[in-house]
């Protein structure tokens, strides 16, 4: 059961529409939410968009301000367990509020998601600077475990 090299992990992450963002508050209490995202230049970008939320000061933003260490997890499940995989990004995040600095990441997100082309997010952007990749697959196409 092979571990994925960073390039393969990045490709698999970029292939899925949703991942889970794990943050922790100043006391280490975890918080996990599904997110849409874009990967570029050693970072992952997540926008606070227009979908209904409890308010603009989201728990994930407060957690990042208190504790910038985050994890992003994506996975693929099928009943055929030979096709299972997961990818984890560990990094440090910060919240970008200035419109001049959010435009580029929102362009990346709009390129991935038609909903963002139709209605661009106007909230802050989370930038995760990638410190490391981890990943696993039940089999890697063309690898030693491939049929």
Q: Please tell me the predicted confidence (pLDDT) of residue 74.
A: 98
Q: Please tell me the predicted confidence (pLDDT) of residue 23.
A: 98
Mean pLDDT by 10 residues, the chain (147 residues): 87 96 96 97 91 71 96 96 95 95 96 95 94 91 46
Q: Please tell me the predicted confidence (pLDDT) of residue 142.
A: 54
Domain residues for the domain of 17 are: 6-137
Looking up residue 116, the CATH number of its domain turns out to be: 2.30.110.10
Would 49 be classed as within a structural domain? yes
CA dist., res. 120 & res. 63, Å (int): 24
Q: Please tell me the predicted confidence (pLDDT) of residue 52.
A: 53
Would 54 be classed as within a structural domain? yes
Q: Please tell me the predicted confidence (pLDDT) of residue 97.
A: 93
Would 23 be classed as within a structural domain? yes
Q: Please tell me the predicted confidence (pLDDT) of residue 50.
A: 73
Would 36 be classed as within a structural domain? yes
Would 113 be classed as within a structural domain? yes
- For the chain, what is the radius of gyration of the CA atoms? 16
Q: How many domains does the chain have?
A: 1
Q: Please tell me the predicted confidence (pLDDT) of residue 53.
A: 56
Would 30 be classed as within a structural domain? yes
Give the pair of three-digit tokens for residue 32: 């996990």
CA dist., res. 141 & res. 14, Å (int): 17
9 touches 135 (CB < 8 A): yes
Q: Are strands 19-24 and 69-76 parallel, antiparallel or unpaired?
A: antiparallel
CA dist., res. 35 & res. 48, Å (int): 9
DSSP letters spanning 41-106? TTEEEEE--SS--S-SS-HHHHHHHH--EEEEEEEE--SSGGG-EEEEEEEEEEEE--HHHHHHHH
Q: Please tell me the predicted confidence (pLDDT) of residue 49.
A: 81
- How far is C-alpha 23 from the chain's CA centre? 12
Give the pair of three-digit tokens for residue 102: 């959010």
Instruction: Give the pTM.
Output: 0.90
Would 1 be classed as within a structural domain? no
Give the pair of three-digit tokens for residue 95: 């919240």
Would 144 be classed as within a structural domain? no
């Amino acid at each position: 059961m092979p571990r994925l090299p960073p390039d393969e992990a990045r490709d698999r992450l970029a292939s899925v529409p949703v991942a889970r963002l794990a943050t922790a508050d100043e006391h280490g209490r975890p918080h996990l939410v599904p997110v849409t995202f874009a990967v570029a230049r050693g970072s992952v970008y997540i926008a606070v968009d227009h979908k209904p939320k409890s308010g603009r000061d989201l728990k994930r933003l407060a957690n990042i301000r208190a504790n910038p260490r985050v994890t992003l997890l994506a996975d693929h499940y099928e009943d055929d367990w030979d096709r299972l995989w997961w990818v984890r990004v560990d990094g440090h995040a910060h919240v970008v509020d200035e419109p001049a600095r959010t435009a580029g990441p929102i362009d990346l997100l709009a390129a991935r998601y038609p909903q963002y082309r139709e209605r661009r997010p106007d909230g802050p952007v989370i930038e995760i600077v990638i410190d490391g990749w981890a990943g696993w697959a039940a089999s890697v196409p063309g690898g030693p475990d491939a049929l």
